[in-house]
Every structure is written in C-alpha cells, then in structure tokens.
Amino acid sequence: MLIRSGKMQFLFWAAFFSVMLYLWIIAVGLQTFVLPDEKPLEMPYDVVRLMFVLYGLLAVTAVAGTFVAILIDNRYYRNFFGGVMMVGLASLIGAKSLFG
C-alpha cells in the first residue's frame, strides 16, 4: 500500500470533493432551470438556497486546497484549484446573467 503524507491526502480529497460539488451544482441547475418538465410559476427559492450553499462549499474547498498547495509548493494542485475557482466563478456569473 502506498502511503502518502497527510497534506497530499488532503489535496486529493479536497480536489475530489470540489469536483463532486461542481457536478452537483451543474446537475441541480440543469434539472431545475434548463430541463424542467413544466415552467415554474415562481422562483424555486429552496433550490436557489441549495445552490448558494453548494457554491459556498465549493469556494471553501477550492481556497483551502489552493492554500495548502501553495504552502507545500505543489504546482499540479495549485493549477487545479485555480482552474476550479475560475470555472466555478464563470458558471456563477453565467447563471446569474441568465436567470437574474
């Protein structure tokens, strides 16, 4: 069994959960706003609140991963979390511009 340091394990799991959170955000957004069975009469505030919480968790995991990657000077994870932050912010701005 290959044993890695705790910092590398943290970076791996932070990357894993940030990707899972982003996929969850995309799935919820597509199900609710893009591909609904019928047009909702009013804004589903519970789904908007869920997406707000998911974006917050994504930001926390991305910033924590970036911080640890900078501290141990790991270029791969530093670039990965930088990309996650850019994609997350771009999707947040895109969703805000489409749905108000």
Say if pTM beats, i.e. exceeds, 0.85.
yes
Q: Please tell me the distance from the alpha carbon of residue 77 to that of residue 97, in angstroms, as a whole number.
A: 30
pLDDT attached to residue 86: 96
Q: What is the pLDDT tens value at each position of the chain, 100 positions in all? A: 466 789 999 999 999 999 999 999 999 988 888 888 887 788 888 988 999 999 999 999 999 999 999 999 999 999 999 999 999 999 989 888 876 6
User: Is residue 11 within 8 Å of 68, Cβ to Cβ?
Assistant: yes
pLDDT attached to residue 100: 62
